[in-house]
Chains A and B, each alone.
Chain A
Amino acid sequence: MKATLKIDTVLNRFAEAVGPSLPIAIEGNRTRWGLNGLLKPGTSVISAPSGLVEYKPEEMIVTVRAGTTVQELDTCLADHRQRTSLPDRGGTVGGAIAVGHNDLHKLGKGSVRDAVLQLRYVSAEGKVITCGGPVVKNVTGFNLHKLMVGSFGTLGFIAEVTLRTNPTPLRQLWIQTSMDPKIIFDTLQRPSAILWDGTTTWVHLEGHPPDVDAQYALLTKSGKVYESETGPSLPAHRWSIPPVDIFSLEKTLMGRFVASIGVGTVWAEQPQEERKLDRATLTITERMKKQFDPTSRLNPGRNLGNWS
């Protein structure tokens, strides 16, 4: 039996629980529960199975059930000084992937969508579907696993994922400065985060200790820099904009904000205005939903297009 074809009883039991009919919703730890529409009242709610399936530190890949918390995953990886790009906001692995929001340290850790190598989901027909592959490089067939990242459980319920891991850098350091964040971004080779609230800039450096020291020293040449315990506290709402737009946007629309320089994520007191899809993209989106969930039974109420 090939690696991709092994479906164990845990997954089969989850598929049975999802079943082939009636509306059903999936929950993780509800840390991003209010996004993309509210769940239709009266819908029954289930959770994905949890637990580590296989961790191969020497291959830098890990397979976990979707209901595992990101914290549990991180703890397991930390034993081998490894990490993934998934953010830990108190939620589950499946939730982090279904939402698709990147970690604060995206410049260093990479994006969530690049971490997913293989994914198993339960379809609207109640069947376990495998997509992607259990190796670090793969172009075998259509990229269904990419489509599932950020799809909010509207196409299938994520049951199990194989993720790429990376070595955790030996040294990590937050620093704080009033220097221009644009200059910092252009000066540093590979910071893992540059956060700016309009006045203060926080920089997260990581890597080999002498490299971190050298980058730190480079910044001290241009201005005053202080070590910091952590980064700034983040306002509740999340914006996604082209990275340089932060410098031209009318900040009153945001209230207090913290922007991730070079990335384009902004945490702000005010929510971002609704972003629209163009007509053709909307058409593909709706067709996609129809193909995967023709009766709209999965996560009813959540909507990434304009389906009913």
Chain B
Amino acid sequence: MSFIDKIKNLIKPSVFEDVFVAELVAALSPERVRFDATERFLHSHDSSVFDEGNAGPICFPITTREVQTIMRISEKHGRSIVARGAGTGLAGGAIPLGAPVVVVMTKMNKILEIDIDNRVAWVEPGVINLDLSRYLQPFGFHFAPDPSSQQVCTIGGNVANNSGGPHCLAYGVTDAHVLALEIVLPDGEVATIGGLDPEPVGFDLRGAFIGSEGTLGIATKIAVRITKNPPTVRTLLLSFSSMRAAAETVSAVIAAGIVPAAMEVMDQRITIAVESFVGAGYPTDAAAVLLVEVEGLVDGVQIDASNIREIGFKHGATDVRVAETDNERELLWKGRKTAFGAIAQIAPDYYLHDTVVPRSALADVLEKVNEVAERYDLIVMNVFHAGDGNLHPLLLFDAREEGMLEKVHAAGAEIMRISLDAGGVLSGEHGIGIEKQAYMDELFTTEDLNHQNRLRYAFDPQCRSNPGKILPAGHSCADIQSLKNVPQGVWG
């Protein structure tokens, strides 16, 4: 189907829908409820490779009360809702299924309060991750989770996906940095879960909500922990003549009892692409490079850096370079974080995978991933959070080639199975969304999934919040019901 056909297909007005949209418009404002075909087409996608989205009306609330109203109107009309931040998700978590109301949270983007004494910032969900850290810079603090998309992704999205990032190795992922949340439940009620105190009363509903990919409700205020900037940071760049040597160095560093702030590996292909993109001084002749950052007090940093250097050489490092200036360090990180953009030089499309394996299995798993890519005749590049065992194999392709997407999906499935066979899990930071639903029962039993569904029901008994995600079909009957609730012939 052509692009234009797809847009045309979305236009199916109906009287019922007019009433529904009119109620939303009356509750918000005409310019903050959109339902033209172009907007709906745009909001039917996120940054994943999936194409089956179908957005209903799109709302841009600016207050908690408006989010409540959207929930209530949708409930009255038996419609589901999907919250959305910047749409940078890679697992299809924000793709609307069954023409739900798409609730775009990007206009709720205020930093509400910085409470240095309690080490907390209250933010709205649309605040961009990096904007918060920039805002905190003069105070000597930052927000620790730093996904590669941090220049555009929102903190609400980070909460939904329990996002990670290179520096989560030492600091932990989003869950460890969110203390409390104001959430609007699918029935329109507002709950405050978690707390600024260390052991809030009741179940840890905060912990249950974070990483639930929008299936439990919408966060409207978020209390995040802010982290003191370290007095000393040292960034090391180790070069290797084989990926195995780089991976074994990572395991050896952890085994030596050193937990660096970040440990990232890039293979030669990606290093070449990055280097021609940012010119950070990455060695293009190395089979793999390892970027390690240690931080803390000056003496400890010195000790850790020198130990890592020694471990690197012992495991076959051909060169170890230390970033001499802040500028040099920033360039190295810019290279790492823009790696995915640099790939456009090589192929028009990429499919970025995300699995986790035990750190000691990294070298073997990477070899198997390369074998898979070879067998499917695909270009694979590896750039990943090695310290956590979090792999990100990138499969490069041109979607215009006949049968290519199917081939890429088949190779991806094999990569997932290799990771599971090595004792790993399906996702380290991107989430399940619609991408990995079908593989959930390879990791969990039917009973396990049934229990995950019970957690879901407690927040959203009608399963109207982002239906059709995470749990495979068959484990979530209400989702199926919710997806069927759209009047026939309406919204495509």
Q: Are B423 and A3 in contact (CB under 8 A)?
A: yes
Q: Are B451 and A129 in contact (CB under 8 A)?
A: yes
With CB as the reference atom, state the residue of chain B lying closest to A276.
B201
Cβ of B461 under 8 Å from chain A: yes
CB within 8 Å of B: which A1-29 residues: 2-5
A242 contacts which chain B residues (CB < 8 A)?
Answer: 118, 195-197
B203 contacts which chain A residues (CB < 8 A)?
Answer: 147, 150-151, 155, 285, 288, 304
Nearest Cβ on chain A to B489's Cβ, whole angstroms: 34
Cβ of B246 under 8 Å from chain A: no
Which of the residues A57, A59, A139, A215 comes within 8 Å of B161, measured between beta carbons?
A139
Q: Are A284 and B389 in contact (CB under 8 A)?
A: no
Q: Are A133 and B458 in contact (CB under 8 A)?
A: no
Q: Are B201 and A135 in contact (CB under 8 A)?
A: no
Tell me the number of A-to-B contacts counted with CB atoms below 8 Å: 261
Cβ of B236 under 8 Å from chain A: no
Cβ of A296 under 8 Å from chain B: no
Cβ of A167 under 8 Å from chain B: yes
A113-B204 in contact given A189-B231, A291-B458 (Cβ < 8 Å)? yes
With CB as the reference atom, state the residue of chain A lying closest to B232.
A189
CB within 8 Å of B: which A198-229 residues: 207-208, 210-211, 214-215
Interface size class of A (residues with CB under 8 A): 35 or more
Cβ of B117 under 8 Å from chain A: yes
Cβ of B18 under 8 Å from chain A: no
A241-B430 in contact given A58-B255, A114-B176 (Cβ < 8 Å)? no
**Interface-located stretch among A43-51, A68-76, A98-106:** A98-106
Q: Are A281 and B197 in contact (CB under 8 A)?
A: no
Q: Are A287 and B461 in contact (CB under 8 A)?
A: yes
CB within 8 Å of A: which B444-462 residues: 444-445, 447-449, 451-452, 454-459, 461
Cβ of A263 under 8 Å from chain B: yes
B426 contacts which chain A residues (CB < 8 A)?
Answer: 140
Q: Are B389 and A139 in contact (CB under 8 A)?
A: no
**Interface-located stretch among B3-11, B122-130, B297-305:** B297-305
Counting chain A CB atoms within 10 Å of each CB, which of B203, B255, B457 scores highest?
B203
Cβ of A280 under 8 Å from chain B: yes
Q: Are A139 and B357 in contact (CB under 8 A)?
A: no
A279 contacts which chain B residues (CB < 8 A)?
Answer: 189
Binary contact readout B261-302 vs A (1 if CB under 8 angstroms, 0 otherwise): 000000000000000000000000000000000001111100
B111 contacts which chain A residues (CB < 8 A)?
Answer: none
Nearest Cβ on chain A to B460's Cβ, whole angstroms: 10
CB within 8 Å of B: which A34-64 residues: 56-60
Q: Are A149 and B204 in contact (CB under 8 A)?
A: yes
Cβ of B207 under 8 Å from chain A: yes
Q: Are A189 and B228 in contact (CB under 8 A)?
A: yes
A283 to B456, CA, bound (A): 14
**Interface-located stretch among B58-66, B208-216, B322-330, B480-488:** B208-216
Cβ of A95 under 8 Å from chain B: no
A100 to B117, CA, bound (A): 24
A284-B191 in contact given A2-B442, A139-B211, A150-B204 (Cβ < 8 Å)? yes
A210 to B207, CA, bound (A): 37
B442 contacts which chain A residues (CB < 8 A)?
Answer: 2
Cβ of B468 under 8 Å from chain A: no
Nearest Cβ on chain A to B234's Cβ, whole angstroms: 14
CB within 8 Å of A: which B221-244 residues: 228, 230-231
Which of the residues A140, A284, A305 comes within 8 Å of B427, measured between beta carbons?
A140
Which of the residues A143, A211, A277 comes within 8 Å of B207, measured between beta carbons?
A143
Nearest Cβ on chain A to B28's Cβ, whole angstroms: 22
Cβ of B385 under 8 Å from chain A: yes
Which of the residues A2, A114, A133, A291 comes within 8 Å of B175, measured between beta carbons?
A114
With CB as the reference atom, state the residue of chain B lying closest to A281.
B191
Q: Are A142 and B208 in contact (CB under 8 A)?
A: yes
Cβ of A166 under 8 Å from chain B: yes
A243 contacts which chain B residues (CB < 8 A)?
Answer: 117-119, 196, 198
A265-B448 in contact given A138-B356, A207-B296 (Cβ < 8 Å)? no
Cβ of B78 under 8 Å from chain A: no
Nearest Cβ on chain B to A133's Cβ, whole angstroms: 4
Q: Are B457 and A291 in contact (CB under 8 A)?
A: yes
Q: Are A58 and B251 in contact (CB under 8 A)?
A: yes
Q: Are A146 and B117 in contact (CB under 8 A)?
A: no
B254 contacts which chain A residues (CB < 8 A)?
Answer: 58-60
Q: Are A208 and B303 in contact (CB under 8 A)?
A: yes
B192 contacts which chain A residues (CB < 8 A)?
Answer: 278, 281
Cβ of B431 under 8 Å from chain A: yes
Q: Are A241 and B212 in contact (CB under 8 A)?
A: no
A189 to B231, CA, bound (A): 8
Binary contact readout B157-197 vs A (1 if CB under 8 angstroms, 0 otherwise): 00001101000100011011000000001000111110111
With CB as the reference atom, state the residue of chain B lying closest to A190.
B296
Binary contact readout A122-142 vs B (1 if CB under 8 angstroms, 0 otherwise): 010001011101111111111
A254 to B199, CA, bound (A): 18
With CB as the reference atom, state the residue of chain B lying closest to A244.
B117
B393 contacts which chain A residues (CB < 8 A)?
Answer: none
A137-B210 in contact given A127-B447, A214-B299, A284-B185 (Cβ < 8 Å)? no
A70 to B111, CA, bound (A): 41
A270 contacts which chain B residues (CB < 8 A)?
Answer: none
Cβ of A178 under 8 Å from chain B: no
Nearest Cβ on chain A to B186's Cβ, whole angstroms: 11
Q: Are A281 and B193 in contact (CB under 8 A)?
A: yes
Cβ of A174 under 8 Å from chain B: no
A265-B199 in contact given A130-B444, A207-B296 (Cβ < 8 Å)? yes
Chain B interface residues (CB < 8 Å from chain A): 117-119, 161-162, 164, 168, 172-173, 175-176, 185, 189-193, 195-205, 207-208, 210-212, 228, 230-231, 251, 254-255, 257-259, 296-300, 303-304, 356-360, 385, 388-390, 420-421, 423-432, 436, 440, 442-445, 447-449, 451-452, 454-459, 461, 470-471
- 10 nearest A-B residue pairs (beta carbon): A146-B207, A210-B299, A280-B191, A167-B257, A208-B300, A58-B255, A291-B454, A133-B425, A242-B196, A288-B458
Chain A interface residues (CB < 8 Å from chain B): 2-5, 56-60, 81-82, 100-102, 106, 110-111, 113-114, 123, 127, 129-131, 133-144, 146-147, 149-151, 155, 166-167, 182, 189-190, 207-208, 210-211, 214-215, 238, 240-244, 260, 262-265, 275-281, 283-285, 287-288, 290-292, 304-305
A–B pairs, 20, beta carbons within 8 Å = A4-B448, A5-B443, A58-B360, A60-B259, A100-B199, A111-B198, A135-B389, A135-B424, A138-B428, A139-B428, A141-B440, A141-B449, A143-B455, A144-B455, A150-B204, A242-B195, A262-B119, A264-B198, A287-B458, A287-B459
